[in-house]
Amino acid sequence: MTTESIKWFWYASPQTFFPLAGRIARVCAVLAPIFTVAGLYVGFFVAPTDAQQGEAYRIIFIHVPAAWMSMLIYLVMAFWAAVGLAMNTRVSFMMIRALAPTGALFTFIALWTGAFWGRPTWGTYWVWGDTRLMTELILLFLYFGVMALQASIDDRRRADRAGAVLAIVGVVNIPIIYYSVKWWNTLHQGASVSFTKAPSMAVTMFTGMILMALAFWMYSIAVAMVRVRCEIMENP
Amino acid sequence: MSEFFAMGGYAFYVWGSYAVTFALLGIEVFLLMKRKRETKT
């Protein structure tokens, strides 16, 4: 066994992970407001007015990063669920509990800002049956489901395992959200940014979006690390 | 300045999005700090 792999198992113990989580939280808590200020500055003062949507498009700087976070946090949560079920490591299950509330929050923010963007551009806050909107709503219910399942089972080990199984089953929803705009006709526009082609927007708009995405990343990591420390303290 | 806050007539939608987002993030941080104090981490 290499020293690297020993290190990973070393941090699988709550007692050794605790100080590391604290250091990560402190660094990210400093970076989050810096990226937020930079992102808002670029988003509101540098990025130009959109030719078609006017100023309404500026919702993009929170809508898209929040939607990315909602999916990414779910993937990370499902990853720890799989690790927890396979290795039976306590910190993995604590990570699910630490991530779920923040994931649900960003999912709600993506839905809320989407509604506030939809009203001026599509003429409606919400469309029942639209696949992009429905799958994102299902994501919110999956987060609630994982948290409710954990809270409703008294035996903590069984609660953790039940929550982890639901988190893993729900992962199937993530690619459906991501590709819904391609697979079905929806009011929602296609991806402005993808892995395969250059972004179809002004460079400054793209920069503002990426800065806000980094801000949300730092925020999420900081909050999750503080919450996992609380979990460790409350469950010695 | 007032032109900036008017957001070209979209003030309600733009600021409605940003206000709710930052309010919710603020509430999460507040609740977490409260929990942190109570667990003395």
Measured CA to CA, the distance from residue A50 to residue A53 in angstroms comes to 5
With bands split at pLDDT 50, 70 and 90, how would you rate the model's confidence at A66?
very high
Whether residue A92 is predicted with pLDDT greater than 70 in this model: the reply is: yes
Measured CA to CA, the distance from residue B11 to residue A148 in angstroms comes to 37
Degrees, nearest 5: CA angle A73-A77-A79: 115
Beta bridge partners of A54: A50
| A62 contact B CB<8A | yes
Mutation to test the B interface, candidates A20, A41, A62, most B Cβ within 10 Å: A62
| B19 contact A CB<8A | no
Measured CA to CA, the distance from residue A127 to residue A125 in angstroms comes to 7
Handedness of CA A224, A228, A229, A234 (dihedral sign): positive
Whether residue A190 is predicted with pLDDT greater than 80 in this model: the reply is: no
Q: In the predicted model, what is the mean pLDDT of residues A5-32?
A: 86
Q: What's the number of CA atoms in the CB half-sphere (13 Å) around residue A54? A: 13
Query: What is the average pLDDT value for chain A, to the nearest integer?
Result: 91
Q: How close, in Å, is residue B38 to chain A by CA atoms?
A: 9
Mutation to test the A interface, candidates B2, B4, B35, B41, most A Cβ within 10 Å: B41
The domains of chain B are located at 2-39
Side chain identity at residue A178, one-letter code: Y
B1-41: per-residue pLDDT in tens? 788 888 988 999 999 999 999 999 999 999 999 999 998 76
The domains of chain A are located at 15-234
Q: What pLDDT, on a 0 to 100 scale, did the predictor assign at position A184?
A: 84
Q: Which of A76, A62, A172, A42 is nearest to A117 (CA)?
A: A62
A99-140: per-residue pLDDT in tens? 999 999 999 999 999 999 999 988 999 999 889 999 999 999
Measured CA to CA, the distance from residue A145 to residue A154 in angstroms comes to 16
Whether residue A195 is predicted with pLDDT greater than 70 in this model: the reply is: no
With bands split at pLDDT 50, 70 and 90, how would you rate the model's confidence at A197?
low
Q: What pLDDT, on a 0 to 100 scale, did the predictor assign at position A2?
A: 55
